[in-house]
């Protein structure tokens, strides 16, 4: 388990105990005990203390944000665990150094905590609240690119515009992420796997349908941040692929931290959707090929 993720898990357990006690116990004493029990040998002691004290010092402000982002859920009605996952995630989203914790990392880490420690619907609830706050912030860092001259890890992925014909209409399968965008199915290539093999496997895992690759759509590159690996440059190779018009299921959803929905759209509906800028040229090329065919 990554050091920072383990550190956040430990801080969350401390926050839970502090809140459950009616905020009457010493959080730093609890953290010291929890760290020795759950994170022995972890080298993130300073990170844990700063995160814990930051959340507690800002918890009233954080609760006000939660109230505005989820007005149908009074703060006292939210479960103790979910409430503190939100506080922790919002603190990092709003107050952390974005060079160290980019907004997407803050949100995805909170989602993972919700999956591990929350209830059956906690992940979706955390997604919704943090995603709403992120959109209100203007989605900072969404299109950031690295100016760091240090080594950047490069990952190769494969993606596809997956289409289907049904009753005289052409549909395209899109996945939705926690930041409010519709995007294309994609995934990492496994060792020794050819690009077309990778997207056939990936589409089955993510959408639940079998596809046939029909054409190449081009490539793009974007940069992101991993809490342990640092800056990542992701190079994506896209294909046009056909599938039967079957129900989409977002297979292995619990492993797809940033995705929360999947849906077929008619061609006429697609360009009105909220896409990332780097995806639009790929989608446009696919539409042109489909219209011509």
Residue 223 has pLDDT above 90, yes or no: no
- Spell out the domain ranges in the chain: 3-136, 153-292
Q: Averaged over 219-228, what is the pLDDT?
A: 66
Task: Identify the CATH number of the domain defined by range 3-136.
Answer: 1.10.940.10
pLDDT at residue number 282: 94
User: Mind listing the pLDDT tens digit for each residue in 15-59?
Assistant: 999 999 999 899 999 999 988 887 666 667 889 999 999 999 999
In this chain, the answer to whether the domains covering 3-136 and 153-292 adopt an identical fold is: no
pLDDT at residue number 3: 78
User: For residue 151, what pLDDT band results from cuts at 50, 70 and 90?
Assistant: low
Class of domain 153-292: alpha beta
User: Mind listing the pLDDT tens digit for each residue in 64-110?
Assistant: 899 888 888 888 899 999 999 999 999 999 988 888 888 889 999 99
User: For residue 178, what pLDDT band results from cuts at 50, 70 and 90?
Assistant: low
Helix/strand/coil (H, E, C) string of the chain?
A: CCHHHHHHHHHHHHHHHHHHCCCCCCHHHHHHHHHHHHCCCCCCHHHHHHHHHHHHHCHHHHHHHHHHHCCCCCHHHCCHHHHHHHHHHHHHHHHCCCCCCCHHHHHHHHHHHHHHHCCCCHHHHHHHHHHHHHHHCCCCCCCCCCCCCCCCEEEEEEEEEEEEEECCEEEEEEEEECCCCEECEEEECCCCCCHHHHHHHHHHHHHCCCCEEEEEEEEEEEEEEECCCEEEEEEEEEEEEECCCCCCCCCCHHHCCCEEEEEEEEHHHHCCCCCCCCCHHHHHHHHHHHHHC
Residue 230 has pLDDT above 60, yes or no: no
Residue 153 has pLDDT above 80, yes or no: no
pLDDT at residue number 179: 61
pLDDT at residue number 69: 85
Residue 13 has pLDDT above 90, yes or no: yes
């Amino acid at each position: 388990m990554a050091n920072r993720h383990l550190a956040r898990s430990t801080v969350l357990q401390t926050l839970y105990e502090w809140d459950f006690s009616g905020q009457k116990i010493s959080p730093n004493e609890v953290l010291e005990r929890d760290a020795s029990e759950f994170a022995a040998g972890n080298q993130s002691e300073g990170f844990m203390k700063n995160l814990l004290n930051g959340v507690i010092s800002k918890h009233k402000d954080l609760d006000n944000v939660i109230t505005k982002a989820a007005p149908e859920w009074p703060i006292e009605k939210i479960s103790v665990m979910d409430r503190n996952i939100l506080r922790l995630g919002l603190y990092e989203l709003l107050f952390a150094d974005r060079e160290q914790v980019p907004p997407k990392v803050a949100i995805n880490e909170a989602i993972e905590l919700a999956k591990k420690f929350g209830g059956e619907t906690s992940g979706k609830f955390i997604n919704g609240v943090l995603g709403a706050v992120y959109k209100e912030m203007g989605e900072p860092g969404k299109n950031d690119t690295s100016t760091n001259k240090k080594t950047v890890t490069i990952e190769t992925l494969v993606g596809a515009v997956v289409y289907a014909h049904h009753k005289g209409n052409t549909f395209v399968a899109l996945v939705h992420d926690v930041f409010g965008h519709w995007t294309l199915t994609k995934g990492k290539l496994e060792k020794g796997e050819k690009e077309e093999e990778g997207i056939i496997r990936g589409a089955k895992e993510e959408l639940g349908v079998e596809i046939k690759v029909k054409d190449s759509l081009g490539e793009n590159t974007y940069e992101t941040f991993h809490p342990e690996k640092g800056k990542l440059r992701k190079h994506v190779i896209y294909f046009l692929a056909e599938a039967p018009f079957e129900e989409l299921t977002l297979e292995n959803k619990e492993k797809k931290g940033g995705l929360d929905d999947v849906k077929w759209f008619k061609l006429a509906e697609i360009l009105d959707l909220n896409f990332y800028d780097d995806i639009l040229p790929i989608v446009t090329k696919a539409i042109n090929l489909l219209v011509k065919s």
